[in-house]
Structure 1
Amino acid sequence: MRLRIFTEPQQGASYDDILAVAQATETLGFDAFFRSDHYLAMGDHVSGLPGPTDAWTTLAGLARETERIRLGTLVSSVTYRPPGILAIQVAQVDQMSKGRVELGLGTGWFEQEHLAYGIPFPAKRFGMLEEQLEIVTGLWETPVGQTYSFTGEHYTLVDSPALPKPSQARVPVIVGGGGAKRTPAMAARFATEFNLPFPEFADIPGKFAGVRRACEAVGRDPRELVYSTALIAVAGADEAEFARRAAAVGREPGELREHGIAGTTSEIVDRLGALAEDGVECVYLQIMDLADLDHLDFIAREVVPQLG
């Protein structure tokens, strides 16, 4: 099982804060550093100071200041960037990182941040997502010297040179969500990975089964997809340390145990083992306290060696 670090910088983090976590992620041996793509803090009494950072600007910086870890978004919103611009940004950051970028793309959901920064927020966005997935992957796959055109309900591209190209032959694309039909269908068509964000544990096998059926419906081998989940992670060497870290992120220990990867070492190892039995191949550990680098060190030192 691969473990990835997943952060929410909109809650209050500078680029230097994010860089410190990304470099710790690399030094400690985790597989990847991912960040959310949001422009406004969430929750009561959260200021978001020092203010938002742009996801792809951040990842461009990290591409030059890390060497090994994968880098990506979980997830970028189709409302933020036209697909042609997104394809250019991701391809460029992939070049800057020498082929370490992954793109998570979704419909977006947080209306308030759109209002705060003047970003249009259409009521219906699944069609936008489907077209963006087709356009972005189509631009990357267009042979050099040829052009790409697309006409859809939401976007039209005419004779695009489809440049630049990513360093990777295929940038991994992550599609996720809990929907029963449209999301699995889009994952089957366009994704290299299907992600379940913050699911109820009992729902995971059924959701994965739905994606496998969607793959079979379009003649794709379901085994081609990576099956992942994202869950909050709060760990401690003992109950007191765990409770302290839970309080630092404003969560109750019991609730964290019920919905996250939480508790002492043995509890977390058991939870990850159960996830593996349910078909989870990759876990995004949502780390909310970016100042607590000892937390990452503890997980790397005490949990990872026991995963086998």
Structure 2
Amino acid sequence: MDLRIFTEPQQGATYDTLLAVAKATEDLGFDAFFRSDHYLRMGSVDGLPGPTDAWITLAGLARETSRIRLGTLMTAGTFRLPGVLAIQVAQVDQMSGGRVELGLGAGWFEEEHKAYGIPFPKEKFARLEEQLAIVTGLWGTPPGDTFSYEGTHYQLTDSPALPKPAQSKVPVLIGGHGAKRTPRLAARYADEFNIPFASVEDSERQFGRVRAAADEAGRKAGDLVYSNALVACVGKDDAEVARRAAVIGREVAELKANGLAGSPAEVVDKIGRYAEIGASRVYLQCLDLSDLDHLELISAQVQSQLS
């Protein structure tokens, strides 16, 4: 089971804070550092000092780390034109020596679009499908050839399809709870399917839909990685769990029901239940980015039991 650290910087984090978390992620043996792609805080937090851009952040971290994978859960398709996104991700992949992964979603948080003057189209899923075709098409075009695309929302003419990523294939992540279109899109474009904040039972149903869609598309369902994203709140005793829950404004009982909370033994047991239904990777949503002791505990007493 791979454990990855997943951050939500829009809730309040500087680049230096994220760098400290990414370096701890690497030093403590976790597989990857991922971050959300949002420009506006959610809930009652003040979000100070303000948002950081996902791909600018990852570019910096690419030069400051050497082993961990780096990526987004999920880049909002509404934020970037697909041709520009293909360039950005390819460049960061080169800067990292081939350690980047692209999670790409349709975008959903209308308020952040209003706050920063970003268009929020009514039909986002069809745009996402075209974006995936374009980004993967640009990367897959042989050097010296050109790439053209005639879609409803995007048109590209004789693109040189440069630069290329360092990796021969940048892993693409698609995720969500949609019962029909999302599995179909994952079956066509994804290397990994991720379901965020879902129970074991709901995850099993959604993984089943993705596997069925892959079979229908003539693809081996086992070729995809299946993963979960879950909030983490681990403590060596009940008091520490309660303290960490209070800091992030959550109740322990709710976190135990909907996330990975409790003692290391409880968390290992619950991760095992996700593994039984086919998950091989978990993104640990860590909401208190100043609490590096939390990462140390998870590394020493959770990750060590899963390797």
TM-score in terms of structure 1 length:
0.99
1:206 is displaced (CA, Å) by: 1.2
1:56-135 map, 5 Å? 56-135=55-134
Q: Indicate the residue corresponding to 2:175 in structure 1.
A: 176
1:1-308 map, 5 Å? 1-44=1-44, 46-308=45-307
For 2:74, give the aligned amino acid: V
Q: 1:178-230 CA deviation, whole Å, 9 max, x = no partner?
A: 10110000000001000001112211111111001100111000111000010
* Ranges in structure 2 where 5+ consecutive residues have no aligned partner: none
Local SS of the residue matching 2:101: strand
Local SS of the residue matching 2:167: coil
How far apart, in 1, do the equivalents of 2:281 and 2:306 lie? Answer: 12
Q: 1:228-276 CA deviation, whole Å, 9 max, x = no partner?
A: 0100000000000000000000000000000001101110010011110
Regions of 4+ moved over 3 Å: none
Matched-pair contact (CA < 8 Å) for 1:73–1:103? yes
How far apart, in 2, do the equivalents of 1:232 and 1:258 lie? Answer: 11
Local SS of the residue matching 1:133: helix
Local SS of the residue matching 2:297: helix
Local SS of the residue matching 1:230: strand
For 1:5, give the aligned amino acid: I
Local SS of the residue matching 1:262: strand
1:147 is displaced (CA, Å) by: 0.3
How far apart, in 1, do the equivalents of 2:42 and 2:240 lie? Answer: 25
How far apart, in 1, do the equivalents of 2:302 and 2:161 lie? Answer: 44
For 1:12, give the aligned amino acid: G
How many residues align? The count is 307
How far apart, in 2, do the equivalents of 1:52 and 1:307 lie? Answer: 34
1:278 is displaced (CA, Å) by: 1.2
How far apart, in 1, do the equivalents of 2:260 and 2:122 lie? Answer: 33
Matched-pair contact (CA < 8 Å) for 2:146–2:161? yes
Matched-pair contact (CA < 8 Å) for 2:5–2:284? yes
For 2:233, give the aligned amino acid: V
Q: Out of 197-206 and 136-145, give the one that drifted further.
A: 197-206
1:306 is displaced (CA, Å) by: 1.4
Local SS of the residue matching 1:67: coil
How far apart, in 2, do the equivalents of 1:11 and 1:167 lie? Answer: 32
Matched-pair contact (CA < 8 Å) for 2:105–2:174? yes
Matched-pair contact (CA < 8 Å) for 1:201–1:259? no
Local SS of the residue matching 1:105: strand
How far apart, in 2, do the equivalents of 1:132 and 1:254 lie? Answer: 40
How far apart, in 2, do the equivalents of 1:135 and 1:215 lie? Answer: 21
For 1:111, give the aligned amino acid: E
For 2:105, give the aligned amino acid: G
Q: 1:52-94 CA deviation, whole Å, 9 max, x = no partner?
A: 0000000000000000000000000110000000000000000
Matched-pair contact (CA < 8 Å) for 2:37–2:76? yes
* Ranges in structure 1 where 5+ consecutive residues have no aligned partner: none
How far apart, in 2, do the equivalents of 1:215 and 1:257 lie? Answer: 32
How far apart, in 2, do the equivalents of 1:165 and 1:225 lie? Answer: 23
How far apart, in 2, do the equivalents of 1:283 and 1:32 lie? Answer: 10
Matched-pair contact (CA < 8 Å) for 2:200–2:273? no
Matched-pair contact (CA < 8 Å) for 2:4–2:31? yes
